[in-house]
């Protein structure tokens, strides 16, 4: 009989009312929802932190790249200044310039050729001889340029043909007169299509009549 009474008491103690059960289940679900929300917030923070780290790393790379570019710009400016200084008396007719392909010596066309001609003048030959020491050991490309005035009475017919003929004349002299290896010299002609200075006045045209000797390997 005693055992029957105890069993009844335990059974009574284990019983939970429907309302209490719902409350417990509700609290459990609320805790789970709170946990899920905290986990989602944690994941967002981790993703945000990773993104910030990536942005900081990118900014550091950009800062380094900007510093390197600035140093290269300063080094190039020093190089051009040194080359300008080394030209001496040639400086009035020759300019050291930076192009999209590298450093070039720009020689005014009036020094090299008479109007409408492709034969080098004596002054032009002396100018190229003075440049020869700067070109030794380099691969170069001789670029011919003209102004925008159409050719009306000339064997060339177009400014493009004239610019090619002039670049060939300079290349031949660099090889034969300045003893540059033929394999290190090539030519190009652009006519009026790559002006050094915009405009059609005489000052611009004088600037655009030129030959540029581009150093292909620095």
For 198, phi and psi rounded to 5 degrees? -70, 150
* Nearest C-alpha neighbor of 136 from the set 167, 174, 163, 98: 174
Per-residue pLDDT of the chain (218 residues; tens, 9 = 90+): 544 444 444 444 455 677 766 676 676 777 677 667 777 766 776 776 677 677 666 666 665 577 776 766 676 667 666 666 667 667 788 999 988 888 999 999 999 999 889 999 999 999 999 999 889 999 999 999 999 998 877 788 899 999 999 999 999 999 999 999 999 999 999 999 999 999 989 999 999 999 999 999 75
Neighbours of 102 (CB within 10 A): 14
**Residue 62 has which token pair?**
């950009």
- Write down the pTM of the prediction: 0.64
- Domain ranges for the chain, please list them: 18-88, 93-215
Cα four-point dihedral sign 205, 110, 189, 140 = negative
What fold is seen in the domain 93-215?
60s Ribosomal Protein L30; Chain: A; (3.30.1330)
pLDDT at 40: 74
């Amino acid at each position: 009989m005693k055992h029957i009474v105890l069993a009844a008491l335990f059974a009574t103690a284990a019983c939970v009312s429907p309302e209490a059960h719902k409350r417990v289940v509700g609290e459990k679900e609320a805790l789970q929802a709170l946990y899920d929300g905290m986990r989602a917030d944690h994941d967002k923070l981790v993703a945000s932190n990773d993104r910030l780290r990536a942005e900081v790393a990118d900014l550091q790379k950009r800062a380094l790249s900007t510093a390197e570019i600035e140093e290269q710009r300063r080094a190039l400016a020093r190089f051009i200044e040194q080359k300008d200084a080394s030209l001496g008396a040639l400086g009035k007719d020759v300019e050291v310039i930076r192009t999209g392909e590298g450093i070039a010596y720009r020689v005014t066309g009036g020094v090299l050729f008479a109007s409408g001609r492709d034969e080098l003048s004596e002054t032009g030959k002396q100018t190229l001889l003075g440049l020869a020491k700067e070109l030794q050991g380099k691969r170069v490309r001789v670029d011919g340029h003209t102004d925008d005035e159409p050719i009306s009475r000339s064997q060339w017919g177009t400014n493009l043909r004239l610019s090619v003929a002039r670049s060939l004349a300079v290349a031949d002299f660099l090889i034969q007169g300045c003893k540059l290896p033929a394999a290190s010299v090539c030519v190009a002609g652009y006519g009026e299509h790559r002006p050094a200075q915009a405009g059609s006045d005489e000052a611009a045209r004088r600037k655009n009549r030129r030959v540029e000797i581009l150093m292909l390997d620095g």
